[in-house]
Amino acid sequence: MAAVSQNFKTDLLASIPSLRAFAVSLTQNADKADDLVQETLVKAWDKHESFEPGTNLKAWLFTILRNEFYSQMRKRGREVQDSDGIMTARLAVHPAQHGQLDLKDFRSALEQLPEDQREAIILIGASGFSYEEAAEICGCAVGTIKSRVSRARTRLQEILKISGDDEFGPDAISAQVTGSNAA
Amino acid sequence: MRKDNTAGAATNRRRAASGDPLGPNSEIGRKLKQYYDELVSDNVPDRFAQLLSQLEQAQPARKKD
């Protein structure tokens, strides 16, 4: 195995904040996320020769991280959530107070999304990837990513009771939040 | 990280222009970025830099001999 170049190491270090953000988004747990990032870095180091310099390192690393996440879930016998079987039961009524959507509320809404929808909306709406890149990272068709993003957005709007581009949600008739424990 | 932000800003502008549903004009789009940016700006624990140093030292020492 050829030695890992200093550049590669520097680039890995620089990618860690993004990797951690993506890992937290997937696992919804800070400790698990850091373990996942650690696994990802070790894997990336081992297979550094399969990275083509000049291509998108961040996308390459996100792919490794994501594969690691799903393979760990499978090992633990956890069924990977499929958004076609959305659990409507978990819908929490949570009106935005004074039209201001609290970040805590948003976090707990995000947590309720099936993994495939959550990762899609994070990759597209927050990590700055294109639909094509996100499709490559997730190993699926561009159309699949588009539909997951769209369903995720609709679902978040339902959970948070906000409509489209409307800054102010419906009147806050303080409905009790059920079963949402925002960490 | 800097790079990401710049790329993100460009994406934002494109999305705003095309009326993208996750662009800065959408509440969900804005919250998504706020949520994620907060995670990205979290302090990175030392364990990761240490890990990379360990991996580096464990490499087949081609140049040492």
Residues A152-177, mean pLDDT to the nearest whole number = 62
pLDDT tens digits along A95-104? 544 556 788 9
- A95-128 pLDDT, tens per residue? 544 556 788 999 999 999 999 999 999 999 999 9
pLDDT score for A178: 38
Structural domain range at position B34: 2-57
Q: Is residue B19 in a domain? A: yes
DSSP 8-state assignment for residue B64: T
Question: For residue A9, what pLDDT band results from cuts at 50, 70 and 90?
Answer: very high
Tokens 């699926």 sit at which residue?
A140
- Interchain contact, A128 vs B11, CB within 8 Å: yes
Distance from the Cα of B58 to chain A's closest Cα (Å) equals 10
Ranges of CATH 1.10.10.10 domains, chain A:
89-160
Whether residue B48 lies inside any domain: the answer is yes
- Domain count along chain B: 1
Model confidence band, residue A22 (pLDDT cutoffs 50, 70, 90): very high
pLDDT at B38 over 60: yes
- Test B31 with A149 for CB contact under 8 angstroms: no
- pLDDT greater at residue A15 or residue A164: A15
Measure the CA–CA gap between A57 and A59, rounded to whole angstroms.
Answer: 5
Tens digits of residue pLDDT in A77-86: 765 554 544 4
Residue B64 lies in a domain: no
> Within a domain: residue B63?
no
Domain A89-160 = CATH 3.40.50.300 = no
> Residue A88: its pLDDT value, please?
39
Give pLDDT, residue B25: 73
Nearest CA in chain A to B13: A128
Considering only alpha carbons, which residue of chain B is nearest residue A124? B22
Helix, strand, coil content of chain A in percent (nearest 5): 65, 0, 35
Fold annotation for A6-75: Rna Polymerase Sigma Factor; Chain: A (1.10.1740)
Taking the C-alpha atoms of residue A12 and residue A58, their distance in angstroms, rounded to an integer, is 9
Neighboring chain B residues of A122 at a CB cutoff of 8 Å: 32, 36
The rounded mean pLDDT for chain A is 82
Question: What's this model's pTM, rounded to 2 decimal places?
Answer: 0.76
Q: What is the pLDDT of residues A54-75, one digit of tens each?
A: 899 999 999 999 999 999 988 8
List, by residue range, all CATH 1.10.1740.10 domains of chain A: 6-75
Residue B3 to residue A167: CA distance in whole angstroms? 29
Domain for residue B62, yes or no? Answer: no
Q: Provide mean pLDDT across the span B27-38.
A: 94
A92 confidence band (pLDDT: 50, 70, 90): very low
d(CA A149, CA A126): 12
